[in-house]
Amino acid sequence: MPKVKRAKKFAAVKRMISPKDPRLAPVKAKLALAAAAAAAPVKNVAPLPAAMFFSHNTALGPPYHILLDTNFINFAIKNKLEIVRAAMDCLLAKCVPVVTDCVIAELEKLGVKYRVALRVAKDPRFERLTCEHKGTYADDCIVNRVTDHRCYIVATCDKDLRRRLRKIPGVPCMFITQRKFTVERMPVSGAPRARFWGAPRKTLFGTEHS
Ligand code: ZN
């Protein structure tokens, strides 16, 4: 085999194409796209539960589990409404009221004036949920529970809590108007109300708020 003689590469420079060469255009476009993607802020979109069909929650169905807030129990007593009965009249289906440990703790903290409410909350027909969080602030507890498990209707008379709950898709709210329970954001709600300007409008997928 003949030996191939190679010239010694001294100070050899790799041959490059000019940076203005048109062949580099697609590469440059790709790099610019990648840079733009890296600079864009990261969006964290929480995945929706599988039971959700747009804003319609298929996990809701009789028997309805109704998470009771402290003030709701109290208002129900003031309006002389028996919770299980009134909820059934509103939803026209079997209802299971659910109370959390922090709601019981809040009622216990409120003292003697709320002892009737406390006794109602300890009704054996009510389901009890144990809390693992610190403190006895029921609003945060309810919001967290409902965000994790969209299988409850929340019964509250607190407007702020209701405003927070409206931001969570698939969670209907129950409240008291005209001495009966009313539910909003439910495709079927038993207590019809007169529609006035700005009132929630019922649609196929829940209730719209204008
Ligand atoms: Zn709790």
For residue 149, report the distance from its CA to the centre of ligand 1, in Å: 14
For residue 100, report the distance from its CA to the centre of ligand 1, in Å: 6
For residue 152, report the distance from its CA to the centre of ligand 1, in Å: 15
For residue 110, report the distance from its CA to the centre of ligand 1, in Å: 16
Question: Which helix (H) or strand (E) element contains residue 77?
Answer: helix 70-78
Domain ranges for the chain, please list them.
56-209
In angstroms, rounded to a whole number, what is the distance separating the alpha carbons of residues 89 and 82?
10
For residue 94, report the distance from its CA to the centre of ligand 1, in Å: 24
| Cα three-residue angle 186-93-139, rounded to 5 degrees | 55
For residue 156, report the distance from its CA to the centre of ligand 1, in Å: 15
For residue 192, report the distance from its CA to the centre of ligand 1, in Å: 32
In angstroms, rounded to a whole number, what is the distance separating the alpha carbons of residues 183 and 185?
7
Q: Give the torsion through C-alpha atoms of 11, 17, 19, 24, to 10 deg.
A: -140
For residue 132, report the distance from its CA to the centre of ligand 1, in Å: 7
Going through 118-172 in order, the beta strands assigned E by DSSP cover 127-129, 152-155
Closest CA to 169 of 45, 44, 55: 55
For residue 57, report the distance from its CA to the centre of ligand 1, in Å: 23
Please, which residues have CB less than 5 A from ligand 1, an ion?
100, 102, 131, 141
Q: Determine the pLDDT at residue 15.
A: 84
In angstroms, rounded to a whole number, what is the distance separating the alpha carbons of residues 145 and 140?
8
Name the pTM for this structure: 0.68
For 56-209, give the CATH class: alpha beta
Q: Determine the pLDDT at residue 190.
A: 43
For residue 163, report the distance from its CA to the centre of ligand 1, in Å: 19
In angstroms, rounded to a whole number, what is the distance separating the alpha carbons of residues 40 and 33?
11
For residue 191, report the distance from its CA to the centre of ligand 1, in Å: 30
Separation of CA 92 from chain center: 25
For residue 8, report the distance from its CA to the centre of ligand 1, in Å: 80
For residue 164, report the distance from its CA to the centre of ligand 1, in Å: 17
pLDDT of the chain along its 210 residues, tens only?
667 777 777 777 888 888 888 999 999 999 999 999 999 888 888 888 888 887 788 888 889 999 999 999 999 999 999 999 999 999 999 999 999 999 999 999 999 999 999 999 999 999 999 999 998 899 999 999 999 999 999 999 999 999 999 999 889 999 999 999 999 887 654 444 444 445 555 566 666 654
Which residues, other chains included, contact 166 with Cβ-Cβ below 8 Å and sequence gap of 6+? Answer: 173, 185, 209
Q: Determine the pLDDT at residue 176.
A: 94
For residue 138, report the distance from its CA to the centre of ligand 1, in Å: 6
In angstroms, rounded to a whole number, what is the distance separating the alpha carbons of residues 191 and 103?
26
